[in-house]
């Protein structure tokens, strides 16, 4: 074999190996980028009237992931888990998370165990292939005092243990009272974060719900790094509904005052965020589905 040919083969081998490493690195980057989805509450009226048709429209827009907000009597939007899973599969959609309020009726204090209703919730979430079972509320009776809340956070941890058996995590989604209500010298949200096991309980940070309380997503992402596996991507605008309730409402992404792109980047950098779930609840006279199309385009232009 002449020297030129040997050099060619050697250099080609290095090039192929380099390409392999490049592809591996590229795959890693893409994999680590997380997933982009939509909270179906954003199109709640359409999902109530025609769930399959609405899901089809979302899929045609380019959505690949959805998050449910309707689980009643072991049915998602009126369909049992296996049937709803097939509907999503046929539309090439997946549902990595969903909202079901975990309430007092889900825990039997005498037995120190979850009731069948919550066990079924977790079982059906696992059937759907969810990664996170999210409770989007916290009854006021569970947070009258700091001790009350700390005690209930133990139930959160136990729910995390139950979800872990099926390869999932338990999660909590904030509204506004978590930031405006103090129990002693700490806010409700501080107590939630400080009394739950990060290995079992993750947070879904809603970037908009907190806004009128004066809280800012950036501050919480920095204060509790790595705790926010999921994020509700929501922008806000001022309204004329008064200085207290209703001072802000959600809007098309990048049209409001949340500085949502900065929040997203910080979520990736320090928050541990892997699920980016678009949610919009007010539409300024536009059709919700049209808003969802615009929101997706904006997120795509930002590289999600």
Q: CA 282, CA 211: separation in Å to the nearest integer? A: 15
Q: Which helix (H) or strand (E) holds 201?
A: strand 201-206
**Residues paired with residue 173 on neighbouring β-strands, in sequence order:** 204
Q: Which helix (H) or strand (E) holds 135?
A: strand 132-135
DSSP letters for 42-100 = GGHHHHHH-HHHHHHHHHHHT--EEEE--EETTEETTEEHHHHHHHHHHTT-EEEEEE-
**Considering only CA atoms, which of 180, 93, 78, 179 is closest in space to residue 130?**
93
DSSP letters for 14-30 = HHHHHHHHHHHHHHHHH
Report how far apart, in Å, the C-alpha atoms of 69 and of each of 99, 256, 268, 278, 295 are.
Answer: 5, 24, 25, 13, 19
User: How distant is the alpha carbon of residue 33 from its chain centre?
Assistant: 14
DSSP letters for 236-289 = EEE-SS-SSTTSEEEESTTSSSS-HHHHHHHIIIII---EEEE-----TTS-HH
The label of the residue with tokens 């980047």 reads 265
In three-state secondary structure terms, 7 is helix
Plot region of 30 (φ>0 → left; ψ -120 to 50 → alpha; else → beta): alpha
The answer for residues whose C-beta is within 8 angstroms of residue 277's C-beta and 6 or more apart is 37, 38, 39, 65, 67, 97, 204, 230, 231, 232, 233
Segments in the chain below pLDDT 70: 1-33, 241-246
Report the pLDDT value the prediction gives residue 246, as an integer from 0 to 100: 61
Q: CA 67, CA 83: separation in Å to the nearest integer? A: 16
Indicate the domain borders of the chain.
1-32, 34-301
Q: What is the CA radius of gyration of the chain?
A: 22
Report the pLDDT value the prediction gives residue 240, as an integer from 0 to 100: 77
Q: Which CATH number fits domain 34-301: 3.90.1150.10, 3.40.50.1100, 3.40.50.300, 3.20.20.150?
A: 3.20.20.150
Report the pLDDT value the prediction gives residue 242, as an integer from 0 to 100: 52
Report the pLDDT value the prediction gives residue 17, as an integer from 0 to 100: 45
Contact 251, 288 (CB under 8 A): no
Q: With the CA atoms of 276, 203, 114 and 153 taken in that order, what torsion angle do they form, in degrees rounded to the nearest 10? A: -170
Two tokens, residue 166:
């099926």
């Amino acid at each position: 074999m002449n020297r030129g040919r040997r050099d060619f083969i050697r250099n080609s081998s290095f090039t192929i190996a380099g390409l392999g490493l490049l592809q591996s690195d590229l795959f890693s980057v893409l994999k680590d980028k997380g997933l982009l989805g939509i909270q179906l509450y954003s199109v709640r009226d359409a999902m109530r009237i025609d769930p399959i048709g609405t899901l089809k429209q979302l899929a045609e827009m380019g959505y690949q992931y959805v998050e449910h907000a309707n689980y009643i009597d072991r049915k998602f939007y009126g369909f049992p888990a296996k049937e709803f899973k097939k509907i999503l599969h046929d539309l090439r959609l997946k549902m990595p998370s969903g909202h079901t309020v975990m309430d007092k009726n889900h825990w039997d204090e005498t037995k120190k165990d979850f009731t069948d209703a919550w066990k079924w919730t977790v079982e059906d979430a696992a059937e759907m292939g969810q990664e996170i079972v999210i409770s989007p509320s916290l009854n006021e009776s569970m947070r009258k005092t700091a001790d009350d809340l700390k005690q209930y956070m133990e139930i959160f941890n136990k729910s995390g243990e139950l979800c872990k058996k099926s390869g999932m995590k338990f999660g909590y989604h904030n509204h506004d009272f978590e930031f405006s209500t103090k129990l002693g010298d700490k806010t409700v949200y501080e107590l939630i974060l400080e009394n739950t096991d990060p290995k079992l309980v993750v947070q879904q940070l809603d970037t908009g719900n907190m806004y009128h309380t004066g809280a800012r997503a950036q501050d919480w992402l920095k204060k509790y790094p790595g705790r926010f596996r999921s994020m509700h991507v929501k922008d806000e605008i001022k309204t004329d509904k008064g200085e207290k309730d209703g001072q802000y409402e959600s809007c098309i992404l990048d049209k409001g005052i949340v500085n949502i792109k900065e929040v997203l980047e910080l979520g990736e950098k320090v928050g541990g965020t892997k699920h980016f779930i678009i949610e919009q609840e007010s539409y300024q006279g536009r059709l919700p589905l049209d808003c969802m199309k615009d929101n997706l385009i904006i997120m795509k232009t930002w590289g999600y």
